[in-house]
Amino acid sequence: MKKQILLLASLIISTIAMAQVKPSFGIRAGVTSSKMSGEAVNNLQNLLDFSGGMVSTNNRQGFFAGGYAAIPISDIISIEPAAYYSQKGYELKGSLNLKGVEFLGANAKAKLNSHYIDIPVVVKANLSGFQIFAGPQFSYLLNADVKTTAGVLGFNLLNNKLDATNQFNKTDFAITGGVGYQITRSINVMASYDHGLAKADANKNLNSYNRSFKVGLGMSF
């Protein structure tokens, strides 16, 4: 992982050194939709199929926010390093409806909430306002927790929160890519997909990886 960090740092430094114009800076924020993927999650999904739909998996909805720099290297191509606080995770939902007394349905939820600093460095092409970009992304885990809740008839029967930070790797590496559009000289929108390449499990025993979508609004200065 140290090699990836050094590669990102050297890419940013060399790009700034080669740039013929000064970089511009901006801020960006938006929403995220994340999940875990891999053999471990697939095995869990196979077990859930036997529940007859009473238990389902869902993406965890969150947000991201941070800043970026746009470093032009030609009229069309630029390098864009960024740093974002980003929420990721996974969610399980379950319900138990008894025939004839559906109003007694018990709802349970287990949500993995993970908080990362994402540092993508992408190559971006700007084609008359339409943008396409891709590149590597290094992520650092700030903390993670699992929250479980359950209720019947509107009463909260369970509400627990467990620190799970030590169960996950502190660092992650991904490939990110997406599209955007420059609405005005200072306002832009983007949509991207982060495909994690490093095992999220701290012991690396389980093949589980982060997957995340981002949709955001940016403002350049």
Give 47's contacts (C-beta < 8 A, 6+ positions apart).
none
- pLDDT for 33 equals 97
Would you state the structure tokens that stand for residue 183, as one six-digit string?
Answer: 């609405």
Find the Cα–Cα–Cα–Cα dihedral 54, 195, 124, 187, rounded to 10°. 30
H or E stretch at 12: helix 2-18
Q: What is the residue type of 79?
A: I
pLDDT beyond 60 at 6: no
pLDDT grade, residue 99 (50/70/90)?
very low
pLDDT score at 148:
79
Q: What integer is the mean pLDDT of 153-180? A: 84
Is the pLDDT higher at 206 or at 174?
A: 174
Q: Which two tokens stand for residue 82?
A: 């960024």
- Report the predicted TM-score, pTM, of the whole model to 2 decimal places: 0.81
The kind and range of the H/E element at 161 are strand 155-163
What backbone torsions phi and psi does residue 147 show, to the nearest 5 degrees? -110, 130
d(Cα 217, Cα 220) in Å, to the nearest integer?
10
Quick one: the chain helix, strand, coil %, rounded to 5?
15, 65, 20
Is residue 159 predicted with pLDDT exceeding 70?
A: yes
Tell me the pLDDT band of 127, cut-offs 50, 70 and 90.
Answer: very high
pLDDT of residue 100: 46
Give dist(CA 146, CA 160) in Å, integer. 8
Q: What is the tens place of the pLDDT at every residue in 39-81?
A: 655 554 554 444 455 556 789 999 999 999 999 988 899 999 9
Domains of the chain: 2-220 (2.40.160.20)
Sign, CA dihedral 31-82-211-159, equals negative
Q: Measure CA of the first residue to CA of the last residue in the chain; give whole Å.
A: 33
